[in-house]
């Protein structure tokens, strides 16, 4: 029940925000680069899996549809090591493609807070390790993303940004030639800081 409800709500809110800004004249583009911490919040009652936190470079793009409404996405890949009480399970990489619809509360101020809602499609690849070698490839997942953050202007064209996203992400654990063991909820929290320029 969790996944359909969260995805439905995210799709509805994203559509509403886009509809509100679709007739406005685009105002420009923000591009920033920085570092993001990817902090998994795993629920794995059968396998008991856990994953390490990772800190990776990221590039962010925010396209303004109007003063208050914008579209946001980011590019980055993260690789995690998984283990449980029995030891190391293996490693897997994730690429979380996502699109956010944002609402900016104070678009003309130096301090510019915002909230966002959107959809992700995350693919898993390059998995391997003591336990992972015996599993089928982790299937990709589509789910909701929630976002909050702010930008602070350091000059007319440059800013620093703090951004927090919550991904609702899950995947199946299935042995090669066997039946599914469980669906693991990964639900990572992404906390990023970046420096950017307005165009």
pLDDT tens digits along 23-61: 555 578 999 999 999 999 999 999 999 999 999 999 999
Say whether pLDDT at 19 is over 70: no
Q: What backbone torsions phi and psi does residue 74 show, to the nearest 5 degrees? A: -150, 155
pLDDT tens digits along 79-110: 999 999 888 999 999 999 999 999 999 988 99
Beta strands in the chain (DSSP E): 28-39, 50-51, 54-64, 69-75, 78-84, 87-104, 111-128, 141-153, 158-167, 170-173, 182-185, 189-198
Nearest to 87 by CA among 39, 138, 49: 49
Report the top-level CATH class of 2-198: mainly beta
Q: What is Dmax (Cα atoms) for the chain?
A: 59
How much is the pLDDT for 4?
A: 55
* 130 alpha carbon, distance to own chain's centre: 28
* Domain residue limits, the chain: 2-198
Q: What backbone torsions phi and psi does residue 28 show, to the nearest 5 degrees? A: 140, -170
How much is the pLDDT for 55?
A: 95
Which pTM does this prediction carry? 0.85
pLDDT tens digits along 105-154: 998 899 999 999 999 999 999 999 999 999 999 999 999 999 999 999 99
Q: How far apart are CA 72 and CA 99, in angstroms?
A: 6
pLDDT tens digits along 169-199: 999 999 998 899 999 999 999 999 999 999 8
| ∠ CA 76-106-98, rounded to 5° | 20
């Amino acid at each position: 029940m969790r996944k359909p409800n969260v995805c439905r709500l995210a799709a509805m809110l994203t559509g509403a925000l886009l509809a509100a800004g679709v007739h406005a004249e685009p105002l420009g583009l923000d591009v920033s680069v920085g570092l993001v911490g990817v902090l998994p919040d795993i629920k794995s009652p059968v396998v008991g899996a856990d994953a390490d936190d990772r800190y990776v470079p990221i590039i962010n793009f925010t396209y303004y549809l109007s003063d208050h409404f914008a579209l946001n996405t980011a590019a980055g890949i993260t690789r995690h090591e998984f283990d449980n009480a029995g030891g190391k399970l293996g490693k897997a990489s994730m690429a979380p493609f996502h699109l956010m619809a944002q609402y900016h509360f104070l678009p003309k101020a130096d301090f510019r807070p915002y909230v966002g809602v959107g959809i992700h499609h995350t693919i898993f690849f390059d998995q391997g390790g003591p336990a992972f070698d015996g599993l089928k490839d982790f299937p990709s997942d589509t789910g909701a993303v929630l976002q909050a953050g702010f930008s602070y202007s350091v000059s007319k064209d440059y800013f620093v940004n703090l951004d927090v996203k919550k991904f609702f992400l899950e995947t199946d654990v299935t042995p090669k030639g066997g039946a599914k063991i469980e669906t693991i909820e990964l639900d990572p929290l992404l906390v990023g800081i970046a420096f950017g320029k307005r165009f």
